[in-house]
């Protein structure tokens, strides 16, 4: 199997070498989610050019694809979105012979993904959603989602502009599953988010990072890797997973059905799964790439960091966001109402 895999990768090199001009790989990814030096190294190794566009939510990425964007080769959706992309025939099966580094994937995390056999998707990075706050500004904080109900922090807090994450936070606060389909539970969550909204500066997915780092915002709802980066910039920033629980997401790599660079896309995925590249990527993006061969290559400070490697009692409070099929519209309806309310 390994011999044939190496032959397959050799073919990729021959194929690319025969092209008259440098091929271009179009990647659609989250912002700040790939070490720049890895991009440069891949471009040099495969004599190609990588063009990266970014999205700030799975729903924004999906909407662009549905609107007719067909120029992308590799996407980085969360696991629940992989299910939707597959169902709508927007991605293609992977050729495992061209991705020998699949053997490096930490099988522990295959239990939380939609596609554990990796037929259409490959795990890229694990993310936990939680709350970051300024210790010097909010000294007496309860590690709960109800921090967003605090009127004394009005205008100094943000939550994610992501319907599944923010409605999910309210559902967990109420003791419900963040994958509920129950109309009454969803209405209660809607009302909670509306109460929180009165105290928020805004819903958004990017500016919260610079906002809390500069201390414009005191409390923000965000992703663990982003917060990890901010903690290195501002020692006053701390992070917690609310006692009621939160979401755990696996972002994955997929190849679009309309890709014009299928061989190169496979080579790119395999390149990112190389243990040295994965370890380097983890150190830059501060998200855990579930690559068991990369773990020993990490600095001890990273291997011991509770944000990057959450303890078991934290993981026990996490729930994976699932694709809800036709019931997704229930969340869309509620989210539209929340965003429209003044």
For each of the chain's 342 residues, which pLDDT tens digit applies?
334 444 455 555 555 545 568 999 999 999 999 999 999 999 999 999 999 999 999 999 999 999 999 999 999 999 999 999 999 999 999 999 999 999 999 998 998 899 999 999 999 999 899 999 999 999 889 999 999 999 999 999 999 999 999 999 999 999 999 999 999 999 999 999 999 999 999 999 989 999 999 999 999 999 999 999 999 899 999 999 999 999 998 999 999 999 999 999 999 999 999 999 999 999 999 999 999 999 999 999 999 988 888 888 998 899 999 999 899 999 999 999 999 997
Does residue 55 contact residue 28 with C-beta atoms inside 8 Å? Answer: yes
What pLDDT does residue 20 have?
Answer: 62
Pairing of strands 246-255, 74-75: antiparallel
User: How large is the angle between the packed helices 2-17 and 36-46, nearest 10 degrees?
Assistant: 80
Nearest one of 67, 35, 30 to 222, comparing CA atoms? 30
What are the chain's domains? 2-124+249-303 (3.40.190.10), 127-247+310-340 (3.40.190.10)
| Predicted pLDDT of residue 248 | 93
Q: What is the dihedral of CA 7, 8, 12, 15, to 10 degrees?
A: 80
Would you state the pLDDT for residue 4? 41
Give the per-residue pLDDT at 111: 87
Question: What span, in angstroms and rounded, lies between the C-alpha atoms of 53 and 55?
Answer: 7
Angstrom CA distances, 258 to 24, 30, 65, 92, 232, stand at 14, 20, 11, 8, 40
pLDDT of amino acid 115: 96
* pTM as predicted: 0.86
Report the b/e string of 314-326 with b at 16+ CB within 10 A. beebbbbbebbee
User: Can you give the pLDDT at residue 310?
Assistant: 87
């Amino acid at each position: 199997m390994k011999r044939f895999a190496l032959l397959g990768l050799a073919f990729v090199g021959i194929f690319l070498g025969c092209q008259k001009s440098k091929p271009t790989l179009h990647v659609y990814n989250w912002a700040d989610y790939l070490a720049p030096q890895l991009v440069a190294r891949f471009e040099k190794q495969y004599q190609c050019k990588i063009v990266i566009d970014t999205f700030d939510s799975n729903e924004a990425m999906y909407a662009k694809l549905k609107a007719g964007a067909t120029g992308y080769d590799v996407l980085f959706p969360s696991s629940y979105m992989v299910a939707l992309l597959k169902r709508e025939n927007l991605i293609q099966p992977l050729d495992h012979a061209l991705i020998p580094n699949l053997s490096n994937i930490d099988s522990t995390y295959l239990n939380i993904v939609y596609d554990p056999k990796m037929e259409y998707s490959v795990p890229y990075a694990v993310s936990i959603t939680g709350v970051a706050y300024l210790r010097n500004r909010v000294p007496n904080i309860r590690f709960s989602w109800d921090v967003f109900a605090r009127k004394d922090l009005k205008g100094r807090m943000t939550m994610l502009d992501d319907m599944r994450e923010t409605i999910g936070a309210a559902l967990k606060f109420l003791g419900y599953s963040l994958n509920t389909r129950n109309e009454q539970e969803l209405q209660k969550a809607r009302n909670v988010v509306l109460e929180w909204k009165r105290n928020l500066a805004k819903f958004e997915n990017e500016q919260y990072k610079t906002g809390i780092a500069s201390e414009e915002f005191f409390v923000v709802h965000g992703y663990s890797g982003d917060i990890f980066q901010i903690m290195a910039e501002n020692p006053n920033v701390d992070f917690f997973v609310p006692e009621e629980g939160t979401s755990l997401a696996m972002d994955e790599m997929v190849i679009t059905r309309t890709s014009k660079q299928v061989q190169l896309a496979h080579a790119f995925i395999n390149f990112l799964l190389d243990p040295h590249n994965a370890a380097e990527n983890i150190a830059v993006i501060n998200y855990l790439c579930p690559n068991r061969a990369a773990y020993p290559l990490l600095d001890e400070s990273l291997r011991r960091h509770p944000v990057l490697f959450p303890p078991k009692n934290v993981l026990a409070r996490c729930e994976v966001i699932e694709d809800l099929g036709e019931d997704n519209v229930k969340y869309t309806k509620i989210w539209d109402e929340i965003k429209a309310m003044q």
